[in-house]
Structure 1
Amino acid sequence: MTISQVKQTAKESLRGNWGIAIGIFVLAWLIETVGGGLIGWIPVIGWIAIFLLTGPLYTGVAWVYLAISRREQPDVAYMFSGFKQFGRTVLAYLLISIFTFLWSLLLIVPGIIKTYSYSQTFFILRDNPNISALDAITESRHMMNGHKGRLFGLSLTFLLWYLIPLAVAIAGTVIVAGGMATTSYTADPAEVLSALAAGATFGGLVLILASWLITLGISLYVYPYLITSIAVFYDDLYAATEGTFTEETVIVEEEVNPFGTTEADPFAEDTHPEGFGPEATKEPETPVVPEAPEAPETPETPEVPETPEAPETPEAPETPEAPKDNNEPK
């Protein structure tokens, strides 16, 4: 699917579901904001608590948009389903954060590239409930080989929306800085120049506030649209490699080791973990039954020579007529 087709499919999936899509985004944002305000001020413990909250929370949010992209009807409670698999979702969130941070230490670009490499992890966790967090990350890397540019192009079409509030925020910041600089160099606060500087500073602050409100308004539309489009991209990517999710996923209650199941380096390019992902859900191929050997042809029966025709029997000679009797009266 092209980028425009992915976006069109996502928009059709959101038709009739915009209410829950926007509501899920707002509710998740409020939980994170309020929770961070209540416990974020506690050193170390508060930060850990926020991390343990946001990991499963935003995993569940991604699962809601995945369900919407598949024309399902998820309810609000579904956004908390990530907490039912707390160990896997938190560990996946932690590992992705660590790996992305380590790659970003080299340069910003490698960190961005790895962000796209790990982008399918939480969708894979949803469709493969019996694999570990590390294996899901590895599977995401394999799925995104050769497709990171496409996903970057898709996300870029949404990020361009934020150029509007960014321009407003930059303008407001420049005005505030100019006003404050003018005020600091003005000797008499009662002068007209000082009053103009104060007005400019206030106007700049209004622009900054307006940029924040514009960002929030754009996000109400862009964020659900973006995540739903990425979910459509994920299903299309899966369909292009192994098939598509056309059957309901059967969740088997089985304890999973969240620290991985592979002994070899799971991030080696030639290593593909076993027991998960497209290979795990692929239907077994029907064995080909060898054809039975053809029976040898029966040799043709030699033709029986024709029996020669019997010679014709010579016709018997005609019997001569008897002589006439002279005594026959005349």
Structure 2
Amino acid sequence: MKTRKQLKAEARELLAGNWLTAIKLNIVPVIFQVITGIIVAGVLAGLTYYFTKIGAELPGEFSAEAGTNGHASSGQSFIGNLITTYLLLSVDFALIDWVRTKTPTAEPFKKAFQTISGKYILPVFVLYVIQRVLLFLWTLLLVVPGIIKMFSYSQTYYIYKDVKEQGGDTDHSYFDYVTMSRQLMDGHKWELFVLRLSFLGWDILGVLTAGIGFIWITPYKQMTYMNYYVSLVGDRYHEWAND
């Protein structure tokens, strides 16, 4: 398995001279994430003000509204995360091909929406629901098991993409891809956690630049993560497709 330094260096090499293509590919999820972040910050600020200035005076009404808003927030979170998943997966699928072929996509804007229509829209939704349910059940035990399982299931969508493109998707259930991800990540969960944590400084920089920095940070991060997947999975997806 390649080191974090190697993964990042290779990501920068792939992006060198191709930043415009990478930005075009990533710009939609970047904008969506920035807007979502602004909305969330605004809602939190509003709730904080309400709780400290008004809620204290109207405890009964506040409690009733809090319960209603809790259900609404859960629904918004589900939908918001689903949309983010579709957008990021469109980018990630294109980047996986980019890493393997060493050639950037010729249609970045088209690829940026590839999971929202056609062959991926239903499978991604089903896999998303399965993972949400499983993670919820694990989180009922404790938060830590839920986080561990989140990393266990993190490669599910990418495995599905690879197996489908090999024509082996009809031989597997959707739960099989979750199992494949869990098997693939056995002994590698901490490794991926540290890799993601290593971008914390970049994320802080992105926030400090009012989201502008993410125009360059997000392509770099996602290219590194997809390089990690390609390096980790190797040729195993061929075996899964032929099982």
TM-score (ref. length: structure 2): 0.68
Q: Which residue of 2 aligns with 1:190?
A: none
Q: Which residue of 1 aligns with 2:211?
A: 216
Give the match's secondary structure for 1:82: coil
String of CA shifts for 1:304-325, please: whole Å, max 9, x gaps: xxxxxxxxxxxxxxxxxxxxxx
Q: Which residue of 1 aligns with 2:104?
A: 73
For residues 222 and 50 of structure 1, the distance between their equivalents in structure 2, rounded to whole angstroms, comes to: 21
Letter in 2 for 1:122: Y
Q: 1:31 deviation in Å?
A: 5.2
For residues 52 and 156 of structure 1, the distance between their equivalents in structure 2, rounded to whole angstroms, comes to: 23
Question: Given that residues 22 and 224 in structure 1 are in contact (C-alpha distance below 8 angstroms), is that contact kept between their aligned partners in structure 2?
Answer: yes
Between the two proteins, the alignment pairs up a number of residues equal to: 197
Question: Given that residues 28 and 112 in structure 2 are in contact (C-alpha distance below 8 angstroms), is that contact kept between their aligned partners in structure 1?
Answer: no
For residues 146 and 278 of structure 1, the distance between their equivalents in structure 2, rounded to whole angstroms, comes to: 21
Give the match's secondary structure for 1:217: coil
For residues 210 and 156 of structure 2, the distance between their equivalents in structure 1, rounded to whole angstroms, comes to: 27
Q: Which residue of 2 aligns with 1:157?
A: 198
Q: 1:49 deviation in Å?
A: 5.8
Letter in 2 for 1:65: L
Structure 1 residues 161 and 51, CA gap change in structure 2 (3 angstroms): closer
Q: Which residue of 2 aligns with 1:18?
A: 19
Matched, 1:97 2:128: no
For residues 215 and 156 of structure 1, the distance between their equivalents in structure 2, rounded to whole angstroms, comes to: 21
Q: Which residue of 2 aligns with 1:82?
A: 115
Letter in 2 for 1:95: I
Letter in 2 for 1:118: Y
Q: 1:148 deviation in Å?
A: 1.0
Question: Pick from 92, 109, 116: which aligns with 1:62?
Answer: 92
String of CA shifts for 1:212-246, please: whole Å, max 9, x gaps: 4525134233322122111111111122xxx37xx
Give the match's secondary structure for 1:216: coil
Letter in 1 for 2:123: R
Matched, 1:229 2:189: no
Q: Which residue of 2 aligns with 1:248?
A: none
Unaligned segments of structure 1, at least 5 residues: 38-42, 166-210, 245-276, 285-330
Question: Given that residues 118 and 137 in structure 1 are in contact (C-alpha distance below 8 angstroms), is that contact kept between their aligned partners in structure 2?
Answer: yes
Q: 1:60 deviation in Å?
A: 1.1
Higher helix share goes to which structure? Answer: 2
Question: Given that residues 62 and 122 in structure 1 are in contact (C-alpha distance below 8 angstroms), is that contact kept between their aligned partners in structure 2?
Answer: no
Q: 1:281 deviation in Å?
A: 4.6
Question: Pick from 112, 123, 148: which aligns with 1:113?
Answer: 148
Structure 1 residues 128 and 106, CA gap change in structure 2 (3 angstroms): same
For residues 50 and 152 of structure 1, the distance between their equivalents in structure 2, rounded to whole angstroms, comes to: 23
Unaligned segments of structure 2, at least 5 residues: 40-71
For residues 218 and 96 of structure 1, the distance between their equivalents in structure 2, rounded to whole angstroms, comes to: 30
For residues 94 and 233 of structure 1, the distance between their equivalents in structure 2, rounded to whole angstroms, comes to: 25
Q: 1:127 deviation in Å?
A: 0.8
Question: Given that residues 12 and 220 in structure 2 are in contact (C-alpha distance below 8 angstroms), is that contact kept between their aligned partners in structure 1?
Answer: yes
The one of the two structures with greater contact order (alpha-carbon pairs below 8 A, sep at least 6) is 2
For residues 107 and 116 of structure 1, the distance between their equivalents in structure 2, rounded to whole angstroms, comes to: 15
Matched, 1:144 2:185: yes
Question: Given that residues 56 and 89 in structure 1 are in contact (C-alpha distance below 8 angstroms), is that contact kept between their aligned partners in structure 2?
Answer: yes
Structure 1 residues 20 and 148, CA gap change in structure 2 (3 angstroms): same
For residues 132 and 29 of structure 1, the distance between their equivalents in structure 2, rounded to whole angstroms, comes to: 32
Question: Given that residues 22 and 219 in structure 2 are in contact (C-alpha distance below 8 angstroms), is that contact kept between their aligned partners in structure 1?
Answer: yes
Q: 1:99 deviation in Å?
A: 2.0
